[in-house]
């Protein structure tokens, strides 16, 4: 399976990974043969890339079928929570979060980070998929930060609810193109407080979860909001969600800016170590996530192009690449592989 920019997808290619709506329903199911109608509709929805099947990369598995089912159910649940938060009592909220807890349990038990991220986002489902991806990233990062099992569960719940306060922000403000006025910016910065006000009287929500909602925009150097907390004034859970929230947010196009390249998004996190982000958690981040997802096409400094087929743990920018085409003629060849960990003078220069 390979990850392709939508403009490079051709008719009759087969969708490799299902695309979901903001309600958790299947918009387009894996296995469907793509035609120009489907491709143009995906472009209209703001889809930038999709997974397509490819026999030459059939050993590259980017989807855990059981986790995909759990994610679909979780999106439905979080959609219900976000839309009905003011009418949810403790029991209803706990029931709605049951699928989230089941997904987190699965990740703790058997999750593979390389088969868990990179869900396809449309303009319509961005908020819910962003919450889902932040939750999944935070769960993996929490595990690698040696948080105990119960703590990881609270961390995951906090991550999926981190932006719940935005339901009290007008959608026109959230989706505004261009620069915000000072008044609009100040209103947007209130969403952590709005979120806390929604949850603080709910006895089923632990204080560690509420702190994530309240503090996920705080920065260790005190330049965050809403309170300008520093260092250990910020909970460890909130520090983890902060990093995952920023990384996922800048990795995706929004109405007011273009997404960062994979390398730039990664470097943003590393550059913020000790200032915006907790230094130790950034180290754990580097040892947990890779820059380039499985199946994505990259161009190398020697002029060759190929697809990421494996990751080297601890070396996020040095994956194993499978070359499928001649670099000069672009004709198909008997493919071969390049392990960038073994060839230090060759680097990735761009995603193709």
Tens of pLDDT, residue by residue over 210-250, are: 999 999 999 999 999 999 999 999 999 999 999 999 999 88
Long-range contacts of 193-196 (CB under 8 A, 24+ apart): 193/165, 193/226, 194/165, 194/166, 194/167, 194/168, 194/169, 195/161, 195/162, 195/163, 195/164, 195/165, 195/166, 196/165
Residues near 343 by Cβ (< 8 Å), separated by ≥ 6? none
| pLDDT averaged over 10-residue windows placed end to end, the chain, 352 residues | 88 90 81 94 85 90 83 84 68 79 92 74 72 93 95 96 92 84 93 92 86 97 96 97 94 66 89 96 93 90 93 90 89 92 92 86
0.75 exceeded by pTM: yes
What is the pLDDT at residue 203?
Answer: 67
What is the pLDDT at residue 212?
Answer: 98
What is the pLDDT at residue 202?
Answer: 77
What is the pLDDT at residue 252?
Answer: 73
Task: With beta carbons less than 8 A apart as the criterion, state whether 316 and 290 touch.
Answer: yes
**H helix or E strand, kind and range, residue 81:** helix 65-84
């Amino acid at each position: 399976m390979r990850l392709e920019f939508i403009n490079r997808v051709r008719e009759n290619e087969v969708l490799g990974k299902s695309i979901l709506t903001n309600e958790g329903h299947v918009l387009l199911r894996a296995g469907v043969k793509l035609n120009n109608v489907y491709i143009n509709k995906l472009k209209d929805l703001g889809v930038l890339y999709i997974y397509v099947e490819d026999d030459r990369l059939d050993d590259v598995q980017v989807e855990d079928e059981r986790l995909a089912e759990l994610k679909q159910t979780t999106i439905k649940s979080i959609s219900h929570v976000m839309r009905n938060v003011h009418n949810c009592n403790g029991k209803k909220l706990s029931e709605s979060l049951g699928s989230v807890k089941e997904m987190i349990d699965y990740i703790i038990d058997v999750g593979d980070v390389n088969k868990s991220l990179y869900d396809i986002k449309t303009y319509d489902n961005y908020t819910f998929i962003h919450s889902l991806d932040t939750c999944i990233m935070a769960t993996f990062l929490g595990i690698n930060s040696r948080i105990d099992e119960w703590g990881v569960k609270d961390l995951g719940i906090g991550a999926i609810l981190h932006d719940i306060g935005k339901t009290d922000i007008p959608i026109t403000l959230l989706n505004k193109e261009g620069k915000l006025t000072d008044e609009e910016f100040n209103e947007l910065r209130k969403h952590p407080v709005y979120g806390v006000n929604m949850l603080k009287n709910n006895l089923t929500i632990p204080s560690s979860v509420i702190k994530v909602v309240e503090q996920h925009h705080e920065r260790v150097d005190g330049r965050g909001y809403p309170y300008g907390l520093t260092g250990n004034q910020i909970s460890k859970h909130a520090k983890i969600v902060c990093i995952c929230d920023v990384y996922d947010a800048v990795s995706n196009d929004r109405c007011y800016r273009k997404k960062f390249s994979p390398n730039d998004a990664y470097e943003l996190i590393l550059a913020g170590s000790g200032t915006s982000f907790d230094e130790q958690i950034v180290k754990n981040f580097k040892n947990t996530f890779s820059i380039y997802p499985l199946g994505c096409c990259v161009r190398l400094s020697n002029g060759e192009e190929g697809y990421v087929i494996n990751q080297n743990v601890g070396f996020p920018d040095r994956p194993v690449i499978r070359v499928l085409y001649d670099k000069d003629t672009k004709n198909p060849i008997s493919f071969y592989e390049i392990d960038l960990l073994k060839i230090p003078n060759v680097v990735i220069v761009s995603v193709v």
